[in-house]
Amino acid sequence: MKQMESHANPTLLADCVFTLTLEQIAWTCTAEPAWICQLVDEAILNPSGTTLADWRFSAEDLARARRAWRLHHELDANLEVLGLMLDMQDEIERLRARLRCV
Amino acid sequence: MEYKDYYKILGVARDASQDEIKRAYRKLARKYHPDVSKEANAEVRFKEINEANEVLKDAEKRAAYDQLGSRWQAGEQFRPPPDWDAGFEFSGAPHQGGQAQDFSDFFAELFGRRTRHAGGAQRRAAGQDHHAKIMLDLEDAYRGGTHRVSLRVPEIDASGHLAYRERSLDVQIPKGVRAGQQVRLAGQGAPGMGGAGDLYLEVQFRPHPLYRVDGTDIYLKLPVTPWEAALGATVKAPTPAGAIEVKIPANSQSGRKLRVKGRGLPGNPPGDLYLTLDVVLPEAVTPRARELYQTMAQELAFDPRHSLGV
């Protein structure tokens, strides 16, 4: 491994519970806010709040939005089937975990 | 730095058409996409495939790459000729779509020179957010604790050249994190005029030899003796937070599921622990053990195949 910044590395506290606005989640996914709105329309993301301005996205929404972004850009997945793909991935993951263990 | 044969990676001929390249990429991307693939080396292969596609799908980059000639072998030690990219101007940022892709040093050396800024990534002066994964043991979710995270950060140096830098951080992960969860480190992303971006870490658990995790619940196969299962008993069971005592109801069979409320992953509310009973028979290796089995055979009227009609 290359030289690390090991000198006086302070411990950083990770923030587990946070919410993001529409602008923030779009920014961190490097997506347009309009694209995020489409994910909400497709019920792929489920923000709290009623108007665009007070939508708040959870950490779970962020994880899903990033997976959706990857499938959309790397496999050219249609928005209409993205939700189904994500749900099926979750199910496959659960089944694989069961195969590994009990 | 090792030479990378992008044509070989995509499995196409050097004179392949753009359509052929696109089809080859799609096929491999579906096979190795880390969110989909069950191949062991999917992530590594997918990066390679993406990098090859990044170059070959782009007429400018492909022409420049072709100029290096075909005499190089994959893996061969490589140094670009001093004037290799003269006359080429790469208009796209090396990280298309703004997603900081982890391309090889070979790619960074050849295409890391940004001549113009990409619109998307520069649309505001705040630093970009970074995303990475962190692998934890299940026990860490119960205890919380500090973890060292190593990141490979793409950076543009003073001469406008893309290079990767190793960066390590000590991160305190709170109790109760779940698989797939995002945790945020404010201000630890890329620096920017309007403030640094944030760093998001996606938590994953290493497979555990004993426990299976599903959301906030955890599952464990608990071996019990035939008499514990038949007569009922209080036995010890491990949990990631330490051993507990569990009451096995009388007349339990193998496969019976017991729920221990609140002993899953910590949280509000905490998950549950599910124990699946596994009745294990003692081997009939001593005369005394054989005798006991024979007594059961004679004195218990028991036919487990009754319902099969034989």
B240: containing domain: 213-308
CATH code of residue B117: 1.10.287.110
Element (H, E) at A8: none
Task: List all residues of chain B from 135 to 174 with a beta carbon under 8 Å from chain A.
Answer: 146, 150, 165-174
Say yes or no: B4 and B114 in one domain.
Answer: yes
Q: Do A4 and B174 touch (CB under 8 A)?
A: no
Looking at B176, B207, B238, the residue that finishes a domain is B207
Q: How many domains does chain A have?
A: 1
Structural domain harbouring A73: 22-100
Radius of gyration for the alpha carbons in chain A, expressed in angstroms and rounded = 17
pLDDT of residue A33 exceeding 90, the answer is yes
Whether residue A54 lies inside any domain: the answer is yes
What pLDDT, on a 0 to 100 scale, did the predictor assign at position B228? 97
Pairing relation of β-strands B273-279 and B257-260? antiparallel
Nearest CA in chain A to B37: A89
Split at pLDDT 50, 70, 90, the class of A5 is very low
- Are A87 and A81 in contact by the 8 Å Cβ rule? The answer is no
Residue with tokens 């080396």: B41
Where does a domain end: B192, B207, B222?
B207
Question: Which domain CATH number covers B263?
Answer: 2.60.260.20
- pLDDT tens digits for chain B (310 residues)? 788 899 999 999 999 999 999 999 989 988 888 877 777 788 889 889 989 998 999 888 888 888 887 777 777 777 776 666 655 555 444 433 334 456 787 887 787 654 334 444 444 567 888 888 888 999 988 888 898 888 877 776 676 666 777 888 899 988 888 888 889 998 888 888 878 889 999 888 888 999 999 889 999 999 999 999 999 999 999 999 999 999 999 999 999 999 999 999 998 899 999 999 999 999 999 999 999 999 999 999 899 998 998 8
The enclosing domain of A28 has a CATH number of 1.10.1660.10
What φ, ψ does residue B143 adopt, rounded to 5°?
-95, -30
Region for A30 from its dihedrals, namely left if φ exceeds 0, alpha if ψ lies in -120 to 50, beta otherwise: left
Nearest residue in chain A measured CA to CA from B22: A75
Number of domains composing chain B = 3
Q: What is the pLDDT of residue B160?
A: 66
Work out the angle between the directed axes of helices A59-74 and A33-41 (0-180°, nearest 10).
100
| Whether residues B1 and B118 fall in one domain | yes
pLDDT of residue B243: 95
Pair (B178, B133) in one structural domain: yes
pLDDT of residue A60: 87
pLDDT digits (tens, 9 = 90+) for B108-152: 778 765 433 444 444 456 788 888 888 899 998 888 889 888 887
**Contacts of residue B310, Cβ cutoff 8 Å, sequence gap at least 6:** none
Per-residue pLDDT at B101: 58
Is residue A9 one of the residues assigned to a domain?
Answer: no
Q: How far is CA B93 from CA B85, B111, B114, B259, in A?
A: 16, 9, 6, 53
Instruction: Decide if B33 and A75 are in contact by the 8 Å CB cutoff.
Output: yes
How is residue A14 written in tokens? 């990770």
Give the whole-angstrom CA distance, residue A72 versus residue B169: 31
Nearest-by-Cβ selection for A59 from B182, B186, B221: B182
Shortest distance, CA A72 to any CA of chain B (angstroms): 12
Asked if the structure places residue A15 within a domain, the reply is no
ipTM of the complex: 0.78
pLDDT digits (tens, 9 = 90+) for B87-108: 555 544 443 333 445 678 788 7
Q: Where among B207, B236, B254 does a domain terminate?
A: B207
Of A9, A67, A74, A75, which to mutate for an interface test with B (greatest number of B Cβ within 10 Å)? Answer: A74
**pLDDT at res. B84:** 62
DSSP string, B62-107: HHHHHHT-S---TT-B----TTTTTT----S-SSGGG------HHH
A34–B contact, CB cutoff 8 A = no
pLDDT in tens, A51-97: 999 999 998 899 999 999 988 888 888 888 898 989 988 888 888 88
C-alpha to C-alpha distance for B288 and B90, rounded to whole angstroms: 83
Is A36 within the bounds of a domain? yes
Whether B91 and B200 share a structural domain: no
